[in-house]
A and B are shown apart, each in its own frame.
Chain A
Amino acid sequence: MLRLNEGRVAFLLVLPTLIILIGLAIFPLGWAGAIAFRVENLFRPDIGKWVGLRNFKHLLAEDTFWKSIRLTLVWCLCVVSIQMVLGFLFAMMLDTRARIVGVLRTLIVIPVFISPIAMGLTWQFMFEPVAGVINYCLELLGLPGGTWHTSTDTALMAVMIADIWQWTPFVTLILLAGMQGISPEVIEAARLDRVRGWKYITNIVIPLIWPVVMVVLLLRLVDSIRVFDLIYIITRGGPGTATLVASVYDFTIFQAGRLGVMAAYGFLILIVINIVVILFLRLLYRQEKEARRVQKA
């Protein structure tokens, strides 16, 4: 009879997860890695061949590749920072005991639950420069209408507005939860010490909710790096290459059937984004360490 020791039991228990992980993550990643070094065309599956680093060299020599990376970084930086600032301000405003706050908290969360496809289509119609409601309202106010998602100059900003509208409430809710977790004694002590306004925010609120800020920042950062649906629905990466962020660019390469180039791009993006995220996280970790040191002092 087979005797199961603790190690074997542990292995058997982990095995289903391991199989799923290998099947759904490691194997596809390895497969994509292999394709990245080959010519593979969706429309000509019979011509696949090994080409070494050619796909990577081809991409690195392309202006569009660098533009897509630049756009992705600009997107993350702008969208996440604006959402964090606005989310913090709204959370501060909602962090009171007034009755209306409960209603506002419920209302503010609505955008988060809207499907990105439905939301993208709605914003697309609203942004429409000739017949859209935004320009109509601006005209009523005597202001000039914008070209929004149809111009290479303003398209990225237009899509950012839609994303900020959807995700700021999420940041607000998480930060609000953090603020409401601050001990009443601490708040009372600050009040007795007459710590108010800017000082109260920077010396009491931010240090105490810093772990929450870190979590929400990381969630939004990862989400914004892999943004696809909203941009794809509103602009499909255009006009021209104005909103061609990494994920959308990669999809357009797939649509053209260039599977090898698509896989190579995926790997390059993975490397670039990992470097950026690691640097960013290190920076945040240092800041957190510094904040804790100040708190202790």
Chain B
Amino acid sequence: MSDKENLYKRTLAQSRLMKNKINRRQMIKIMAATATTASMGMGSRLASADTKGPGWYTNDKLKGKVTMFVSAGQRWELPARGVLPLFNERFPNVEVDIQAGPHGDMVTKAMMIATSKSKTMDVVYTDFGQWPAFHAVNAMEDLEPFAATDPGWYADYNEDTPTGAQYRVPANADGTLYGLTGDGNAKLHFYRKDLMKAAGIHKVPETWEEALEVAEALHNPAKDQYGFITTARRGGFAGWVFWGMLASYGGDWFDKQADGGWHPTFNNDKGYKALETLMKLMKFRHPVTLNATDNECNTALANGSAVYAPIQWGTAVLQDPEFSKFPDDIGTGLVPRGETADSAHRPLMGGLGQYVSAYSENKEAAWEWIKHLNSGDYTDSRISDAYIEHTGQPARISLLNKYENIRPHFAGLKQSFPLAVPFVPLIPEAFTLSDIIGNEVTSVITEEKTIDDALKAMDKGVEGVMMDSGYYG
């Protein structure tokens, strides 16, 4: 049985267990069968004992309770729950309480936890774009002293996790570590290989012009087949689509992200080109596009009504046979680039990570928990096996490589990370600014404003926030 089949059977069993289609006893039988039938690969690793790496240790003297706030469901809560049994084995006297909440409310809820200075949450697992805001209110614990106690593990983490995905202050490889980013994501290019082949398109689009041609060629509303979909819901979602396209045309949020700068730079040729291209793509949009988040986009792509998503957050579900009708026909790659001289492939990078609350009374236990959650083969390959099996999407390059055969979109992530730019500017006001630009993008898409007026309004709105925050007078 191949790794892919093995993983599929196990994921299916978990999914059925969650839907009460099978009981726990049946689930254990399936897990045991898949683990023993595999002669090599993940199944055997799960069953064997020689999975431990040089970083493995246990500690029964460490005691306490760690409470973690995390977004509910796939990619965040489930992988955390997946690696928990092994953590309990390593730290039998540390209790981990995982408190999951809706992903849609994560940003505001996490911010309220941080500003309330509450001791109730020891670990907050949230969007790494939001971390500057937590840092500004001194909610994050400096992790360097903890990491220094295990230099081998720290070196492994640093080498394996892209610098752009790590949270350090200042934001460079020498900055102080304030959080661990176990979950990595990037805007990817999703396309239907079968339909493109049938339409005589043999090359994955490189530029937005080519992407437009593909969208037009595949667009056939009479057959409920739409040539374009993206997350264009008003607010941040629409804002990040625009910012992704702007980046690919060589644009940026500000003239300079340093003292003397911070003046918005949307109202220029690059901004115009990005919005103009988006409007051209909108001619081929799936009906749900205007109000779509990842949920709506993924559902439409999985059921085949949307067939092309050139700028869409990475996800495993489209190549998951239980969720998608076309698991083997959906390809992934780099988000297209513009055609101008400054253009390049600049996918947006996102992801979630954990920080230890500065107000926690169990910091050491909290650190051990997040360290375990972010560990790879250096500690024990069973951790990463469980993480991936429970729908995790790692930022660690070694794990993207290792599981690429069972999670095909990992190849796209691996390709994107070295080229990626953060999906928000790394400042506390990031989400307020994303909302401002997103609302203006929506006003263009719904034809309430012209592109010029919207770009002017973006600059004005962003400048107002930056002025209020004291970046300039």
Contact = CB atoms under 8 A, between A and B. Distances in A.
Contact of A130 (B112, B235, B305): B305
B136 interface: yes
A90 to B, nearest CB: 33
A46 B108 contact: no
A150 B448 contact: no
B235 A241 contact: no
B60 to A, nearest CB: 41
Given A44-B133, A64-B439, A240-B446, A257 B224 contact: no
Interface in A223-269: 235-242, 244, 252, 254-258
Contacts of A41: 429, 432, 465, 468-469
A135 to B, nearest CB: 10
Interface string B223-247: 0100000000111000000000000
A64 B428 CA distance: 25
B136 A44 contact: yes
Nearest to A49: B468
B360 interface: no
B469 A44 contact: yes
A136 B436 CA distance: 38
Contacts of A257: 108, 111, 429, 431-432, 435
Interface in B111-129: 111-112, 115
A79 interface: no
Nearest to A257: B432
B442 interface: yes
B44 interface: no
Interface stretch (B173-181, B191-199, B283-291): B283-291
B446 A241 contact: yes
Given A238-B233, A258-B432, A45 B468 contact: no
Which of B137, B233, B468, B470 is packed against the most chain A CB atoms within 10 Å?
Answer: B468
Contact of A47 (B224, B305, B470): B470
A253 to B, nearest CB: 9
A39 B286 CA distance: 39
A81 interface: no
Contact of A256 (B115, B235, B446): B235
A178 interface: no
B26 interface: no
Nearest to B305: A130
A185 interface: no
Given A238-B290, A252-B235, A256-B435, A131 B108 contact: no
A256 B436 contact: yes
Interface residues on B, range: 35 or more
A220 interface: no
Nearest to B132: A43
Given A45-B115, A46-B137, A130-B303, A255 B288 contact: no
Q: Chain A interface mostly helix, strand, loop or mixed?
A: loop
B62 interface: no
A208 B295 CA distance: 52
A256 B470 contact: no
Contact of B290 (A43, A49, A150, A244): A150
Contacts of A47: 468-470
Contacts of B429: 41, 43-44, 257
Contacts of B445: 240
A256 B133 CA distance: 13
Nearest to A232: B104
A260 to B, nearest CB: 9
A42 B291 contact: no
B443 interface: yes
Given A46-B136, A63-B448, A255 B108 contact: yes
Contacts of A241: 234, 442-443, 446, 448
Interface in A121-177: 128-131, 147, 149-152, 155
A156 to B, nearest CB: 13
Interface in B279-318: 286-288, 290-291, 300, 303, 305
Interface in A10-65: 39, 41-47, 49, 63-64
Contacts of B448: 63, 240-241
Nearest to B290: A239
A39 B464 CA distance: 11
B40 interface: no
A131 B303 CA distance: 9
Contacts of A130: 224, 286-287, 300, 303, 305
B330 to A, nearest CB: 17
Contacts of A236: 233-234, 291
24 contacts: A41-B432, A42-B115, A43-B429, A43-B430, A43-B431, A130-B286, A130-B300, A131-B305, A150-B288, A152-B290, A239-B234, A240-B291, A240-B442, A240-B448, A241-B443, A241-B448, A244-B234, A255-B107, A255-B108, A256-B235, A256-B431, A256-B432, A257-B431, A257-B432
Given A42-B115, A129-B288, A256-B432, 5 more contacts: A41-B432, A47-B470, A130-B303, A254-B108, A255-B107
Interface of A: 39, 41-47, 49, 63-64, 128-131, 147, 149-152, 155, 235-242, 244, 252, 254-258
Interface of B: 107-108, 111-112, 115, 130, 133, 136-137, 224, 233-235, 286-288, 290-291, 300, 303, 305, 428-432, 435-436, 439, 442-443, 445-446, 448, 465, 468-470
